[in-house]
Amino acid sequence: MSLTDLRQAHPADAWKANRANLWNQPTSGICHGYVQANLVMLPAPAAFDFLRFCQRNPKPCPVLEVTDPGDPEPKLIAPGADLRTDLPRYCVYRKGELVEERTDVLDLWDENMVAFLLGCSFSFEHLLMDAGLPIRHLEQGINGPVYRSNRECVPAGAFHGRLVVSMRPLPPERVAEAVEITAAHPDVHGSPVHIGSPEALGITDIDRPDWGETVRFEAGDVPVFWACGVTPQQAAMESRTELMITHATGHMFVTGLRVDQSLT
């Protein structure tokens, strides 16, 4: 199956393709117009800690849906989907270490497991582009840079860790517009956490991101930092969480929500 097949597909077709292992590529560009989401799966006791972590850190962890323990179907935003099989690629963390990447997690799921879908910045980039704002990493055809900041998230139970941020260079006269647009969409990380001065966030070399690729600044561009959905992985690592399953980078879950409906 090729990207062309899925570009205009309904999410249910993408779920089916993933389930049949006919698609295991990054999801950027598939199912045009539908919200994509970060996935986190945890056993129930850790899941309650994590839900409080999300409640206390809504910018990095905007919750779109949490399933009941043992229920792999996100009934509200993707009825009919099965989160154990319907993503192209998963990462398995044990005691905070990435131990495995795989294409389904059927055998790791049991009646205690809880799945979280968290808002992802693909959707707000869509809105920024609609407003004619330049997204440098897309212009340059690379994955945007992501950094571990020096800022501690508010802990919850066993979960603690530093805030992870994505960065987009923007022309100084358009920064305010980017703030206004993203502030209106708390479900996909909301407004920036930091503008300018990477040093103050503990980032000593902007050209050496911790995840993603180095983006080229145009003359005058200001670095604008948003909270990033990689924050839960960072928390799992720092907290040495017994078991956490996530999507693999860029291999998101496509929800049944339309971007224009849902981003309120």
Q: CB neighbours of 65 closer than 8 A, spacing ≥ 6?
A: 74, 76, 77, 78, 116, 117
Complex with a second copy: residue 96 or 157, whichever CB lies closer: 157
Residue 114, SS3? Answer: strand
Cα separation, 190 vs 201, in Å, equals: 18
Complex with a second copy: residue 14 or 37, whichever CB lies closer: 37
Cα separation, 252 vs 87, in Å, equals: 6
Distances from the Cα of 81 to the Cαs of 71, 218, 238, 256, in angstroms?
Answer: 11, 42, 31, 9
Q: How far is the CB of 209 from a second copy (least distance, A)?
A: 30
Question: Which positions touch a second copy (CB under 8 A)?
Answer: 44, 47-48, 51-52, 55-56, 63, 65-66, 68-69, 76, 154, 156-157
Q: How far is the CB of 75 from a second copy (least distance, A)?
A: 9
Complex with a second copy: residue 31 or 227, whichever CB lies closer: 227
Q: How far is the CB of 55 from a second copy (least distance, A)?
A: 6
Cβ atoms of 247 and 87 closer than 8 Å: yes
Cα separation, 178 vs 175, in Å, equals: 5
Complex with a second copy: residue 67 or 149, whichever CB lies closer: 67
Q: How far is the CB of 48 from a second copy (least distance, A)?
A: 4
Q: How far is the CB of 191 from a second copy (least distance, A)?
A: 10
Complex with a second copy: residue 52 or 102, whichever CB lies closer: 52
